[in-house]
Amino acid sequence: MKQTRREHLVFLGATATVTLTPLTAFADSHASEENAEPMVHEIQMLNKDPENSKERQVFVPDLLRANVGDTVKFVPTDKGHNSECSAKNAPEGATVWRGKINKEVEVVLDTPGAYAYNCKPHRTAGMVGLILVGDVSGNYEDIKGGRYRGKEKKRMEAIFERADAMLEEEAAAAESS
Ligand SMILES: [Cu+2]
């Protein structure tokens, strides 16, 4: 089943297919939409942060908001990286993944909750990320309180700071609607 949302545009007999794949889906409020169509979210595996060249070995975006049923696709834009998420860093019963180095990985996010993942060769260099799927209340605090070391810890703390703010905003928006 194709999970990418497509729209077909017809101009004077010519047909173009536009694939809508938001890279930073957490900026919008679709996560709270009921029955939203499943989306494919891309995360690039990079040697250098395009926004800050001092930051090396990064997932972009490193924080993703998604709905249950969405797909995340890790793209090996630069070489030497993988993405993996172990069962202890994911909600109970969730599909977890262990990508090969330099290979694209696609995962259907089938279980609500928080998923912390990393690149195996660069975990200690802080190449980590967080995906929040649907209602994260089941394991968010557990994942936030997980054991992270060195640069991994530093990056995770920064990610959780943004995640906290995002969830607060969502809660406030839900209250006012
Ligand atoms: Cu890496």
Residue with tokens 């605090």: 141
**Rounded to the nearest 5°, which phi and psi values hold at 74?**
-90, 125
Q: Residue 90: helix, strand or coil by DSSP? A: coil
Tell me, in angstroms, the distance from the centre of ligand 1 to residue 130's CA: 15
Q: Residue 78: helix, strand or coil by DSSP? A: coil
Tell me, in angstroms, the distance from the centre of ligand 1 to residue 155's CA: 14
Q: How far apart are the C-alpha atoms of 15 and 13, rounded to whole Å? A: 6
Tell me, in angstroms, the distance from the centre of ligand 1 to residue 60's CA: 12
What is the model's pTM? 0.81
Tell me, in angstroms, the distance from the centre of ligand 1 to residue 108's CA: 22
Tell me, in angstroms, the distance from the centre of ligand 1 to residue 149's CA: 16
Tell me, in angstroms, the distance from the centre of ligand 1 to residue 13's CA: 45
pLDDT tens-digit readout, 70-79: 999 999 999 9
Q: How far apart are the C-alpha atoms of 176 and 174, rounded to whole Å? A: 6
**What is the token pair recorded at 171?**
């809660």
Length of the chain (residues): 177
High-pLDDT (> 90) share of the chain, % = 78
**What is the token pair recorded at 57?**
């070995």
Q: Residue 14: helix, strand or coil by DSSP? A: strand
Kindly report the average pLDDT of the chain as a whole number. Answer: 86
Tell me, in angstroms, the distance from the centre of ligand 1 to residue 15's CA: 39
Tell me, in angstroms, the distance from the centre of ligand 1 to residue 112's CA: 26
The answer to whether the CB of 115 falls within 8 A of the CB of 83 is: no
Tell me, in angstroms, the distance from the centre of ligand 1 to residue 98's CA: 13
What number does CATH give the domain 22-176? 2.60.40.420
pLDDT tens-digit readout, 18-61: 444 444 444 444 445 556 799 999 999 999 999 998 999 999 99
